[in-house]
Chain A
């Protein structure tokens, strides 16, 4: 019966959430926004590519003046340029529409901007002028250097690969930090998306006066557990919906979006770090969800609960404001407090775990603390819901909730 009720609660909660238009409107807003951004970026990049292509068979004709002496007249001529000495007259020709553009190269193009005057071709079309003006300089410089490799290095287009060692072993470096940080991102994203749902999940019974019907029909532990699992399932669906456009964008538009190719083989997956990261994320999620449910059971409405919940969120994210301290001095007193205080522990410990400064025994303490406290908070949430949610319009006091234990024992004795 317990399993049946748990499944029924999960089915009801998940079904009614996913069945609501409002849920999908809010959920789809994010991927739609991502899609719009992707579209704009793609459009912009396509336009830039078109500009570059257009430059290749440049129909553009322009005049230019060169105070630097770096511009190779042959290069400029090949791209459609004609040297002039009277900038004012050349600009007047552009204004009159007799010339496409006029470029003024300063004495030191490296420190002083080259000025471009052209007939307006719209937001994207105007990029062609800057492209041609820049190309003239680059090609002229390459010709003067005379060596493509030197030219590449002069442009700073070089890559460096580092290998470092810790304890005689090759350190994972940055590629070893990212995988365990995924758990931090998942924890933060899930909590941010679902926080409101966590808080209102038990408030709903209270606000709708359903509590008495529920309490006489099923065990509150089954209800609370079902709601927490439902929140997790709904969150999983939301994350999936968010990830779909990201995956589509990466798989099909990676080139046009200028996204780097991710080579999974370049990441280092440390099994210990990954397990610790997963347990910290799970324990943190359980603790925060249980606490949110407990707040919902105590408060008469969402407005009153909001203040307490905000405090909870601040406690959770406060380590992010001290991230440099967490990374640079993980053994400082402040970071130690953040590491072991339950509500700041998940993010602090996940950060330290990713950057390798969380010792195994520290991880064990934090994980144990999170799971134990989660169990206590869950029991507290159930008790608060059982004896607190009947207070439909009042905030229940802990004294009221716990005062009756002795009396109950006597009554049953």
Chain B
């Protein structure tokens, strides 16, 4: 775990109760400067609550939630871009008016805000919608506008709560490109998402939240190792013997998946199988995907459809 001084986001023993119900039990993690951090968890696991408490919107029951060494306020001085889960803009105003307003509130001059907004709208294919009222746009178009509002102050810290929710694959790719650009420009990104391919593409480290506590925390390889680490896929003839080095997680007539227990050299497994008289046709090793880990962690929960 990094020290609080190195971290842009520092959460220590955070606890949140609502009406006597504990939503977050005891959560601690850090987000380092310049990294992209995936904040993962099933619906209702407390991700949005944590972000709102971090941003001072909720008052924590206990714990420390710091951004850049202190509790966040709009006057903290840090350039923050926050895309909340609850999307919303001033619906009766034009796209350009809303973007300019937020740009000015984020410290841009009116001229700079208009110029930035115009360029952004062109980039996301909404160049002809600048004068259109927000409520005349489709849901996806409104989300693009909102993402623009989020990143228009060249944020040091970008907090994105399900940024691609509701997007088609083409626009999802476009938005991920935009987020990646922010990352390359030096922004620290804290991202909530259920899209594991986005996490694997962008995130340096992740945390898996379950029952208000950190179920797993670290780099993606570290988390993969924590959840069984390596999987061996074997095409074979014969009989695969039982072993203390692996579990047979799937076995068909000529195909098996072996999940390694602990740190074991794959070559040793191969030699054991050959020594046991198994005719090996193929032998590949791979890590568990984040999606597989996610399903294994939350698969026993019935809260996936919950809030």
A-side residues, CB < 8 A to B, are 1-2, 4-5, 8-9, 12, 16, 204, 208-213, 215-219, 386-387, 390, 392, 403-405, 407-408, 410-412
Q: Smallest distance from the beta carbon of B105 to chain A beta carbons, Å?
A: 5
Is B26 in contact with chain A by the CB < 8 A criterion?
no
CB neighbours of B93 from chain A (8 A): 16
Query: What are 21 A-to-B residue pairs whose CB atoms are below 8 Å?
Result: A4-B104, A12-B97, A16-B92, A204-B90, A208-B88, A209-B84, A212-B86, A212-B88, A213-B82, A216-B56, A216-B80, A217-B74, A217-B102, A218-B74, A219-B75, A386-B57, A407-B59, A407-B60, A407-B61, A407-B62, A408-B60
Instruction: Tell me which of B63-71, B118-126, B172-180, B200-208 binds A.
Output: B63-71
Give the contacting residue for A212; candidates B72, B82, B97, B101; CB below 8 A: B82
A218 and B246 CA atoms in complex are apart in Å by: 55
B90 & A212 in contact (Cβ 8 Å cutoff): no
Interface of B is mostly: loop
CB neighbours of B55 from chain A (8 A): 212, 215-216
Is B131 in contact with chain A by the CB < 8 A criterion?
no
* Nearest A residue (CB) for B100: A12
CB neighbours of B104 from chain A (8 A): 4, 8, 12
A372 and B61 CA atoms in complex are apart in Å by: 31
Q: Smallest distance from the beta carbon of B149 to chain A beta carbons, Å?
A: 7
Is B290 in contact with chain A by the CB < 8 A criterion?
no
CB neighbours of A411 from chain B (8 A): 59-60, 62-65, 71
Give the contacting residue for B102; candidates A208, A213, A386, A405; CB below 8 A: A213
A217 and B98 CA atoms in complex are apart in Å by: 14
Give the contact-size bracket for chain B.
35 or more
Is B10 in contact with chain A by the CB < 8 A criterion?
no
* Nearest A residue (CB) for B13: A411
CB neighbours of B92 from chain A (8 A): 16
Q: Smallest distance from the beta carbon of B131 to chain A beta carbons, Å?
A: 12
**A212-B60 contact given A218-B105, A219-B75, CB 8 Å threshold:** no
A211 and B73 CA atoms in complex are apart in Å by: 14
Give the contacting residue for B59; candidates A8, A215, A405; CB below 8 A: A405
Q: Smallest distance from the beta carbon of B225 to chain A beta carbons, Å?
A: 34
CB neighbours of B105 from chain A (8 A): 5, 8-9, 217-218
Is B87 in contact with chain A by the CB < 8 A criterion?
yes
Is B106 in contact with chain A by the CB < 8 A criterion?
yes
CB neighbours of B72 from chain A (8 A): 216
Q: Smallest distance from the beta carbon of A393 to chain B beta carbons, Å?
A: 10
**A213-B106 contact given A8-B101, A407-B59, CB 8 Å threshold:** no
Q: Smallest distance from the beta carbon of A106 to chain B beta carbons, Å?
A: 67
